Amino acid sequence: MKISYTIVRCFTQEMKIFFDENQLLHAPKHEFTGNGLKPYPERPDRINWILEAIEASKLELEISKPEPIDSSQPKLVHTDEYVNFLQKIPRDLKEDAPTMLLVSEARNLPSTFHGNLGRFFFDPATPITASAYTSALGSVSSALAATKDLESNNISVALCRPPGHHATRSHGGGYCFFNNVAIAAELLNRQGKTVSILDVDFHHGNGTQEIFYTTDKVQYISIHADPDSNYPFFWGSMKEIGSENGRGFNLNFPIENTCGEDDYIEILTKSIAELKEYNADVVLISMGFDTYYLDPIAGLNLDVGAYNKMGELLSDFNHIAIILEGGYHQNIGKCFVELLRGLS
């Protein structure tokens, strides 16, 4: 037991953080919120906040550029027509979002980009820019590089931005285009490995849940704010346990918005017991920091110390990759550093 603990520590020293500069290109200005336009919270600055905090910390970490990928990787989980649509975003597009969502069968398929947006997004609050495809592909490449790195290291990190866990097979939404964690899990499955995904973003990862709903090769566990009153509303209840072969391999833990750190850690501890029982070859963490108490769009009552505890609890696992999802306050840098300290 002592030995494996020492190994984890020693690998932590060589922990690699993957990030591609293309991920910074997608920078919409506004988000439609239902009661007006607000500044877009999912900003490129989020990555800089994290990198600056890592630099200021005394942690020895290596920032690495991932290998470039092409459209065949997102197509491992997304439909060809969705990926092709994003690949063909007009180069002169400034910023756009659907003004109508297709919810029943279309009798006319429009020829324009704007007209088609409503076919490929499930909310009007995910603005698209000319760089969305390039940035989303960069984000996937970071997730894939981090999972590949687990062949030689115990822990790795992918600074994914744009995030991914809301993206379904055929639709973007919730600031997400390609489901980074799902693409990584699918690739691992195809290599014969089982995967657990623990999603600790404030919001339920509806995309990830749906992609693996009928398989027992990926266990999906999510702790998130109760969808009865929080985005994404239509998914995330405890009743959603998976179906067919996947029955019992989907676990949702909805929590009250007022939930404090002790309650949160208790549910996290329960989730970790479930992960241990499933005993996957690889554990992927959909890591959201929008549970932080100052988060501008969400927020539970977690302070920086909670992320240190989270890291400590997760340091028990042998092949674990941290995949960034949400978190919109400047202090996500500090939260990230605490998570890494806990893991090491």
In the complex, the residues that contact ligand Q9C under the rule CB under 6 A are: 33, 125, 163, 166, 174-176, 201, 203, 231, 288, 290, 297, 325-326
Residue with Cβ nearer Zn ion (16 or 329): 329
Which 290-309 residues touch Zn ion, going by CB under 5 A?
290
Residue with Cβ nearer ligand Q9C (166 or 171): 166
Cα–Cα distance, 138 to 123 (Å, whole number):
23
Closest CA to 200 of 96, 109, 285: 285
Total residues contacting Zn ion (rule CB under 5 A)?
6
Residue with Cβ nearer ligand Q9C (232 or 246): 232
Residue with Cβ nearer ligand Q9C (282 or 323): 323
Task: Write out the E strands in the chain.
Answer: 16-18, 30-32, 37-39, 62-64, 155-158, 195-199, 218-225, 250-255, 282-287, 320-324
Please count the helices (runs of H) and the strands (runs of E) in the chain: 10, 10
The burial of 10, by beta-carbon neighbours within 10 Å (0-12 exposed, 13-18 middle, 19 or more buried), is given as exposed
Report residue 271 as tokens: 């989730």
Closest distance between ligand Q9C and the C-beta of residue 153, in Å? Answer: 26
Which 147-206 residues touch Zn ion, going by CB under 5 A?
201-203
Residue with Cβ nearer ligand Q9C (40 or 249): 40
Cα–Cα distance, 94 to 127 (Å, whole number):
10
| Nearest residue to the partner ligand Q9C, using Cβ | 326
**Considering the rule CB under 5 A, would residue 326 count as an interface residue with Zn ion?**
yes
Query: What's the one-letter identity of residue 73?
Result: Q
Residue with Cβ nearer Zn ion (57 or 230): 230
For the question of residue 166 being annotated catalytic, the response is yes
Which among 26, 78, 165, 166 is annotated as catalytic? 166
Q: Taking CB within 5 to 8 Å according to partner kind, which of ligand Q9C, Zn ion, none is near residue 125?
A: ligand Q9C
Contact 182, 211 (CB under 8 A): yes
Closest distance between ligand Q9C and the C-beta of residue 62, in Å? Answer: 26
Report residue 132 as tokens: 């969305």
Closest distance between Zn ion and the C-beta of residue 289, in Å? Answer: 9
Tokens 């028990």: give the residue: 316
Q: Taking CB within 5 to 8 Å according to partner kind, which of ligand Q9C, Zn ion, none is near residue 174?
A: ligand Q9C
Closest distance between ligand Q9C and the C-beta of residue 184, in Å? Answer: 16
Query: What's the one-letter identity of residue 283?
Result: V
Closest distance between ligand Q9C and the C-beta of residue 231, in Å? Answer: 4
Q: Taking CB within 5 to 8 Å according to partner kind, which of Zn ion, ligand Q9C, none is near residue 323?
A: none
Closest distance between ligand Q9C and the C-beta of residue 181, in Å? Answer: 11
The answer for residues whose C-beta is within 8 angstroms of residue 214's C-beta and 6 or more apart is: 242, 243, 244, 245, 246
Contact 177, 132 (CB under 8 A): yes
What does the binding site for Zn ion look like in residue numbers (CB under 5 A)? 201-203, 288, 290, 326
Catalytic residues: 166
